[in-house]
Amino acid sequence: MEQKEKKQTVFSLIQPTGTPTLGNYLGALKNWANMSDEYDCLFGIADLHSITVPDFREKPAQLRKNTRELYALLLALGLSPDKNTLFVQSHVAAHSQLAWILNCYTQFGEASRMTQFKDKSAKHKDNITVGLFAYPTLMAADILLYNASYVPIGQDQKQHLELARNIAERFNAIYGELFTVPKPLIGKTGAKVMSLTEPLKKMSKSDENEKSYITLLDEPSSIVKKIKSAVTDSESEVLYREGKDGINNLIIMYSACTGQSIKEIENEFSGKGYGAFKSAVADAVVKELMPIKERYNQYIADKEYLDKCMRENAEKAAVRSQRTLNKVMKKVGFLQI
């Protein structure tokens, strides 16, 4: 009998810092559900990472609520817990254990060069913790625990993945080939969606202006209102061109939701003006997101099912991660009983 080829592992976590935006969805999350056909996928919620800044360190009830809601939303996106390992980071102790060990194999200079540490510490000058500094080492532990071949990442995480690769290579050079050196997942990236009010900025749920972003759980009326008020330009032609950042952004959104090419969109709306185009974009986004919202409402109402999924998937992740952790501890020289 022909042996089935083993799938390569893909790993990615998302922080429970609020409801993901349309940008998060079209840029990454929409692709996650389709990956399990080709890869062995581990997805989850990086709640340990979220306490590196004061926002959630000081709001434990909010962190718990966000974690449960995000788990329900990941299920609603089609991430079947039968086809994927879908877990909460803090439910698997090996992440914290390996992070400590890897801290001892990470150079201070490497960690201090991380751009996100510089940016976030600048925002919280009076409250900079060791956790914020060591955040990339925990991220490395997350990935290396499961010998992930690929990590789907955005531009802002490239530096962290490079550090994870450096740590893996350094560890392997000392102790032999133990960790898989992870690679960024190229070719699975989605649309880059920008702010509706400042189209030169990435869409972000942390933006103070709520009109600048759409979340996956926004009401249809809110989605329509935000898109119709989106910044464009003084022209009226629906064309993807340099200098037309607002319209370019809406074209990208419409293309990602409908599957149409930019040229097809330009032809469809030739001579129709921005009003008609914005209405069509709003309709396409509502059509894309409403089934997700409906499924989310079903999952979030079933606490028993959510808890069962979390427990079972944490157990799956724990078994896999413990195998790696045991090998690491033996290599380093910890006495095991």
Domain ranges for the chain, please list them.
9-190+303-332, 210-298
Q: Is the pLDDT of residue 146 over 80?
A: yes
Distances (CA, A) of 240 to 62, 151, 155, 202: 41, 31, 23, 18
Catalytic residues: 120, 202, 205
Is the distance from CB of 257 to CB of 292 less than 8 angstroms? no
pLDDT band at 284 (very low <50, low <70, confident <90, very high): very high
The predicted-structure confidence for 30-68, as pLDDT tens digits, reads as follows 988 889 889 999 999 999 999 987 777 888 999 999 999
Say what the pLDDT of residue 333 is.
96
Say what the pLDDT of residue 124 is.
66
As a whole number, the mean pLDDT across the chain is: 91
Domain pair 9-190+303-332 / 210-298, same fold = no
Q: Is the pLDDT of residue 85 over 50?
A: yes
Q: Is the pLDDT of residue 151 over 90?
A: yes
Q: Is the pLDDT of residue 164 over 80?
A: yes
The predicted-structure confidence for 97-133, as pLDDT tens digits, reads as follows 999 999 999 998 888 887 777 777 667 677 778 888 8
Q: Is the pLDDT of residue 3 over 50?
A: no
Angle formed by the axes of helices 245-258 and 273-300, nearest 10°: 50
Say what the pLDDT of residue 206 is.
85
Q: What is the mean pLDDT of residues 276-290?
A: 97
Please provide residue 301's backbone torsions phi and psi, each rounded to the nearest 5 degrees.
Answer: -80, -10
Gap between the Cα atoms of 189 and 31, Å rounded: 8
Is the distance from CB of 285 to CB of 230 less than 8 angstroms? no
pLDDT band at 210 (very low <50, low <70, confident <90, very high): very high
Q: Is the pLDDT of residue 5 over 70?
A: no
Q: What percent of the chain has pLDDT over 70?
A: 95
Range of lowest pLDDT (67-81, 110-124, 268-282, 292-306): 110-124
CA dihedral of 137, 317, 171, 330, whole degrees rounded to 10: 120
Class of domain 9-190+303-332: alpha beta
CATH 3.40.80.10 fits 210-298, yes or no: no
Angle formed by the axes of helices 303-332 and 130-145, nearest 10°: 90
Q: Is the pLDDT of residue 202 over 70?
A: yes
Q: What is the mean pLDDT of residues 322-327?
A: 97
Beta bridge partners of 194: 202
Please provide residue 74's backbone torsions phi and psi, each rounded to the nearest 5 degrees.
Answer: -65, -40
Say what the pLDDT of residue 110 is.
86
pLDDT band at 2 (very low <50, low <70, confident <90, very high): very low
Q: What percent of the chain has pLDDT over 90?
A: 75
Q: What is the mean pLDDT of residues 227-255?
A: 95
